[in-house]
Chain A
Amino acid sequence: MIVIDGLTKRFGPFTAVNHISFSVARGEVLGFLGPNGAGKSTTMKMVTGFLSPSEGAARVCGHDVVSDTLAAQRTIGYLPEGAPAYGDMTPLAFLRFIARVRALKGVEAERAIEAAVAATELQGVLEQPIDTLSKGFRRRVGLAQSILHNPPVLIMDEPTDGLDPNQKHEVRKLIKRMSADKAIIISTHILEEVDAICSRALIIDRGQVVADGTPAELISRSRYHNAVTLTVEGQLTVQSAEILKTLPGVVSMEVTPRGSETVLTLFTSRGTSATAVAGDLTLVDAVARVARENNWIVRALYGEPGRLDEVFRSLTRSDIDGIDANQSEKNVA
């Protein structure tokens, strides 16, 4: 439903988005990840017709966003970064304005507003000017606006930013509930969110796609994928732990003293698909046996699925290198 092909955006000499291509099908929730200034928001602004691409094309439900902007925009519900709204209006008046623009009339409009208000739990603040609302409520007004016309395509720039943990949970539930018959793109910095609601994740850095896959696939790129972590009482010397390195499948080991305990992490080679390393015996079992034989007092022992934040860090460097891409994005908006 969303097809993006070679989309590029340049601001003067700076390339914010560099030949990005991907597509999102109905039923998919695409998590758009990347450091600040990687080009997430710029990409979304181009897909929603707010910015014109310098190169490339984007089609939404078959409509080209440049040559057939209005038709594309009708199929999109968009929550811009920071959830801007008209602060002097009340949420009710604001939603009525959106309904009019979206060609919803009379009973149909009232029903759509009611549904959106219920989904975002805005009932208590409908008559207060948006300017006087808390950040969380303002974000929910933005959400309500974006889902009002039950669009087949939903594009949300940081939908849970500024919400408290309970509200975050509710919004994620809402997105999950809607995901069955929609194509959804959300951008986020929150990696747990990707695991919680996204069926696919796209990591972009310096305007380019650096990873594209299901959250599980991305996690499997982590060097912690299928690693085993053991915490034992007391200071364990490297020599005494050396035996762990000889276990089948182990390629390296890290020993970190932490207070009165020692944390040992055993890394397996990236190709290792499961924790089964020798017949029925898993690496966790093998480590447990070694610990028993050496009379170590075990505090914790677990296999790791992988760490998304570590994958994210290893793939994205633009925020660290001090490229202030966000600044040039802001200047335009």
Chain B
Amino acid sequence: MRELAAVFRRELGGYFATPLAFIFIVVFLFTMGAFTFYMGGYFESGSADLLIFFNFHPWLYLFLIPAISMRLWAEERRTGSIELLLSLPIPLWAAVLGKFLAAWVFSGIALALTFPMWLTVNYLGNPDNGVILAGYIGSFFLAGGYLAIGSCLSATTKNQVIAFVVSVVVCFLFTVSGLPLVIDFFSSWAPQQVLNTIASFSFLTHFTAITQGVIDLRDIFYFGSLITVWLVACGLVVDMKKAG
């Protein structure tokens, strides 16, 4: 635990030691606002909730989260500091989890800073704050899912650009796997069972369910197990690279 805390503190501090945190948060808030108010037509919709706001999250995360996760391991490999990290007495799981948690908390901070949206909607009307809270929780888990994928893919390369691009693609597939775009490809030949399995991998399906205000344990379990699987894969990748 001590090692986990040390890695976590170092990583989280690392975001704020450079302009990275500041720039990311500004871009994050700006795009969130721009999409909600202009593209989403928030005011025109006339409804006192944040559904429009949350509906954009999967698509914005698709690009913003890999931007955080791409450096997690690729940067360590490029600068060689990974040799220091892995020769320190830190269990592998603590390094993997510490890095992931720092990135997750960082994205949580960015998400929390969208609170003016919540203030606005409460000022304009009487929204169901329970549903909004569920939306925030769902969004946080969604970010965790993207981060876990990005973290694993970042461990496979020392090139951050590759890490970014591959993460975007894989995250995209996980996002849309429930949409016709993917399902149509399989529907002509795959049995219904397979279609359902593929569709059930979709971030969108589970995320949308949560933003409706229903925190179903199955959705939380989905994100939890997805994060676990990708982090375990991340540990395996790091360990495999040790073998040369």
Q: Which residues of A contact B (CB under 8 A)?
A: 9-11, 45, 48-52, 54, 70-71, 73-74, 76, 78, 80-82, 84-89, 93, 97-98, 100-103, 129, 145, 332-333
Contacts and interface: CB of A to CB of B under 8 A. Distances in A.
B6 interface: yes
Contacts of B17: 88-89, 129
B18 interface: yes
* Interface band, chain B: 20 to 34
A28 B10 CA distance: 35
A129 B79 CA distance: 15
A74 B244 contact: no
Given A86-B10, A100-B2, A100-B5, A49 B87 contact: yes
Given A52-B243, A78-B87, A103-B2, A89 B10 contact: yes
Of A50, A102, A129, most B-chain CB atoms within 10 Å: A50
Contact of B242 (A51, A74, A88, A102): A51
B184 interface: no
Interface of B: 2-3, 5-7, 9-10, 13-14, 17-18, 77, 79-84, 86-91, 241-244
B83 A86 contact: no
Contacts of B86: 49-50
17 contacts: A45-B83, A48-B87, A49-B86, A73-B88, A78-B87, A80-B83, A85-B84, A86-B14, A88-B18, A89-B10, A97-B6, A98-B88, A101-B89, A103-B2, A129-B17, A145-B84, A333-B77
Contacts of B79: 84, 87
A88 B84 contact: no
A74 B84 CA distance: 13
A169 B13 CA distance: 36
Nearest to A98: B88
Contacts of B81: 84-86
A11 B90 CA distance: 25
Given A87-B79, A97-B9, A9 B244 contact: yes
B23 to A, nearest CB: 14
Contacts of B243: 51-52, 54
Contacts of A97: 6, 9-10
Contacts of B10: 86, 89, 97
Contacts of A98: 88
Contacts of B90: 70, 101
A100 B83 contact: no
Contacts of B91: 70
A333 B87 contact: no
A129 B7 CA distance: 18
Contact of B83 (A9, A50, A52, A88): A50
B166 to A, nearest CB: 19
Nearest to B80: A84
Contacts of B7: 101
A22 to B, nearest CB: 20
A73 B3 CA distance: 13
B241 A332 contact: yes
B80 A89 contact: no
Contacts of A103: 2
Given A82-B80, A101-B3, A103-B2, A11 B13 contact: no
B80 A80 contact: yes
A50 B82 CA distance: 9
A73 B83 CA distance: 12
A129 B13 CA distance: 13
Contacts of A86: 10, 14, 81
A84 B84 contact: yes
A51 B244 contact: yes
A102 B84 CA distance: 13
B241 A84 contact: no
A219 to B, nearest CB: 33
B238 to A, nearest CB: 11
Contacts of A332: 241, 244
A49 B242 CA distance: 9
4 residue pairs, one from A and one from B, having the closest CB atoms: A84-B80, A100-B6, A73-B89, A48-B87
Contacts of B88: 73, 98, 101-102
Contacts of B14: 86, 88-89
Given A86-B14, A100-B9, A333-B80, A73 B244 contact: no
Contacts of B241: 332
A102 B89 contact: yes
A95 B13 CA distance: 14
B6 to A, nearest CB: 4
Contact of A76 (B5, B9, B83, B87): B87
A93 B89 contact: no
Contacts of A82: 80
